[in-house]
């Protein structure tokens, strides 16, 4: 009986209910879009911010031992200990290996270029194949980790030992241009090599005054075959929180549950810790300026999306409330008649709330579908790629939409109890 009355009641004033459903659908569309983007914005923003450089630096463990006196580092092993190039694949064999976007080993040696002395000759990977057991086509290098490097010309090939990038500042002083030949002499071994300048490099850093070549070239010139001085790693991480800060201070003070949570969460500190576990002689240290900047930006964006979503919820609830007030006023005689015939106020109250559930459900389903499409459009416009659809958002959005409709209907529906049959049936209200 109740459902028959609900059906008949819902069909009354269809235009107004359609308008209420549209209001809910618009809010549900916005909420779906924001929810879908907020779930994916962390990875999207992290990938975008990888263009500003790596967020983990790996050096030999001996160099991580501080020995500073008066601001001067007296560590006798600094610059004398190295990592093994053969250990690089181990850094991609950790729990969070899929979060490591790229890694770039470096090795430096001072050289003389013309009249310029102590010019850094930097050896690194540009875009070198590094086959992995689960990804035989994996490639890595500074083109993955240092998106801010700007090359006027062509990138050298990692297997072309006669090509080099010359820093734009150094090239300006030496009068070098693309296609020119540059000769370098290792100041320690006296080994000389000549390179064709494939491009001029601008980074805004020390590389602007350096010559950058494939890693194997510097290894040969410095007599350090298979060795690297440090590794820059670019990893997708989530913002640090109280747990990760506690782990930064001392992992020994974490409880077993806290340690498992921290270890299995993509914090930059936990990824660095796992790299140290994989490579015995390595000390992995997060570059906190980069990591903190990423976390702050992502956190603020997600907070903004939450605020906009709440605003949409409140606005839709107010719109439904306004229309429900009008509906109750228009149907006052009908409500009075039902009361006169013995219907309890609670039963009529449930009838109107049932209408709100139907309106919220229909609006939520329509808004969810529209929101998914809008989220893909926003992803393509902002990030140049589609966003991942979380199918759990469907039930959640429908439930939120029903809650919106109920929130907007709750107070107006309570006015039903104040309607007296004798007054509304005689036209006094």
* Sign of the torsion angle spanned by Cα atoms 33, 34, 39, 41: positive
Closest among 193, 200, 195, 143 to 166, alpha carbons compared: 200
Enter the tokens of residue 96.
Answer: 């969070």
Place of tokens 């490591």: 100
Alpha-carbon gap, residue 372 to 394, rounded angstroms:
10
Confidence at residue 43, expressed as pLDDT on a 0 to 100 scale: 63
- Measured distance between the N- and C-terminal CA atoms of the chain, rounded to whole angstroms: 29
Please state, in angstroms and rounded to a whole number, the distance separating the CA atoms of residues 402 and 393.
Answer: 14
Q: Which helix (H) or strand (E) holds 112?
A: strand 100-113
Our CA dihedral for 187, 192, 198, 201, rounded to 10 degrees, sits at: 0
Which residues contact residue 8 at a Cβ distance below 8 angstroms, ignoring those fewer than 6 apart? none
Q: Return d(Cα 162, Cα 195) in angstroms, integer.
A: 5
Alpha-carbon distance of 369 to 54, in angstroms, equals 38
Q: Which of 285, 231, 295, 269 is nearest to 89 (CA)?
A: 231
| 41, 43, 48, 54 alpha-carbon torsion, rounded to 10° | 140
Beta carbons of 303 and 390 less than 8 angstroms apart: no
Q: What is the pTM of this model?
A: 0.65
Indicate the SS3 state at residue 291: helix
Residue 136 in tokens: 């035989």
CA angle 338, 344, 350 (to 5 degrees): 90
Strand 128-129 and strand 163-167: the pairing is: unpaired
In eight-state DSSP terms, residue 98 is: G
* pLDDT tens for the chain, residues 1 to 429: 445 555 555 556 567 777 878 888 888 888 888 888 777 766 666 666 555 667 889 999 876 655 555 455 544 545 568 999 999 999 998 898 888 889 999 999 999 988 888 899 999 999 999 998 888 899 999 998 888 899 999 999 998 889 999 999 999 999 999 999 999 998 888 888 999 999 999 988 889 999 999 999 999 998 899 999 999 998 888 777 788 888 888 888 888 999 999 999 888 889 999 999 999 888 898 876 665 666 666 677 777 777 887 888 788 777 777 777 776 666 666 666 776 666 666 666 677 777 778 888 888 899 899 988 888 888 888 767 777 777 888 888 889 888 888 887 777 766 666 666 655 555 555
Query: DSSP string spanning 121-166?
Result: EEEE-SSEE--BTTBTT-EESHHHH-TT-EEEE-PPPTT-TTEEEE
Pairwise CA distance, residues 120 & 186, whole Å: 10
- Give residues with Cβ within 8 angstroms of 381, minimum separation 6: none
In which residue are the tokens 């990875």 written?
43
List, in order, residues 6 or more apart from 429 with CB less than 8 Å away.
Answer: 332, 419, 420, 423
Q: How far apart are CA 186 and CA 19, in angstroms?
A: 78
| 3 state SS of 58 | strand
Report d(CA 169, CA 401) in Å as an integer.
Answer: 59
Query: Could you write out the DSSP letters of every residue in 180-247?
Result: -EEEEEETTT--EEEEEEEEEEE-SSGGGGSEEEEHHHHHHHHT-TTEESEEEEEE------HHHHHH
**Tokens representing residue 213 in the block:** 């070549």
Per the CB < 8 A criterion, the answer to whether 57 and 405 are in contact is: no
Q: Is 293 helix (H, G, I), strand (E, B) or coil?
A: helix
- The answer to whether 290 touches 54, Cβ cutoff 8 Å, is yes
């Amino acid at each position: 009986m109740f459902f028959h009355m609900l059906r008949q009641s819902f069909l009354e004033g269809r235009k107004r209910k359609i308008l209420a459903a549209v209001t809910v659908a618009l809010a549900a569309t916005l909420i779906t879009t924001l929810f879908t983007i907020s779930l994916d914005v962390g990875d999207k923003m992290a990938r975008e911010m990888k263009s500003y450089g790596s967020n983990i630096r790996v050096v030999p463990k001996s160099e991580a031992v501080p020995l500073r006196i008066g601001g001067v580092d007296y560590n006798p092993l600094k610059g004398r200990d190295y990592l093994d190039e053969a250990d690089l694949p181990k850094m991609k064999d950790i729990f969070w290996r899929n979060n490591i976007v790229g890694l770039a080993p470096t090795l430096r040696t001072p050289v003389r270029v013309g009249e310029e002395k102590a010019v850094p000759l930097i050896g690194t990977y540009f875009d070198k194949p590094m086959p992995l057991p689960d990804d035989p086509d994996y490639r890595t290098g500074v083109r993955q980790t240092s998106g801010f490097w700007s090359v006027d010309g062509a990138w050298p090939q990692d297997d072309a030992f006669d090509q080099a990038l010359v820093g734009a500042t150094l090239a300006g002083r030496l009068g070098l241009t693309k296609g020119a030949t540059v000769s370098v002499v290792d100041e320690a071994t006296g080994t000389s090599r000549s390179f064709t300048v494939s491009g001029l490099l601008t980074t805004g850093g020390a590389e602007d005054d350096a010559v950058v070549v494939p890693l194997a070239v510097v290894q040969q010139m410095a007599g350090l075959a298979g060795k690297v001085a440090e590794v820059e790693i670019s990893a997708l991480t989530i913002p640090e929180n109280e747990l990760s800060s506690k782990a930064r201070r001392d992992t020994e003070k974490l409880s077993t549950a806290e340690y498992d949570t921290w270890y299995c969460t993509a914090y930059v500190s936990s990824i660095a810790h796992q790299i140290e576990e994989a490579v015995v002689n390595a000390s992995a240290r997060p570059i906190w300026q980069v990591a903190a900047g990423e976390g702050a930006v992502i956190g603020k964006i997600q907070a903004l999306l939450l605020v906009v979503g709440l605003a949409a919820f409140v606005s839709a609830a107010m719109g439904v409330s306004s229309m429900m007030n009008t509906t109750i006023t228009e149907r006052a005689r009908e409500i009075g008649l039902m009361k006169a015939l013995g219907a309890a106020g609670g039963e009529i109250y449930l009838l109107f709330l049932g209408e709100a559930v139907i309106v919220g459900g229909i609006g939520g389903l329509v808004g969810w579908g529209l929101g998914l499409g809008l989220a893909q459009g926003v992803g393509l416009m902002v990030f140049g790629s589609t966003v991942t659809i979380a199918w759990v958002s469907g039930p959640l959005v429908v439930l939120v939409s029903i809650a919106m409709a109920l929130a907007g209907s709750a107070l107006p529906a309570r006015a039903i109890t104040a309607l007296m049959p004798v007054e509304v049936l005689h036209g006094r209200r």
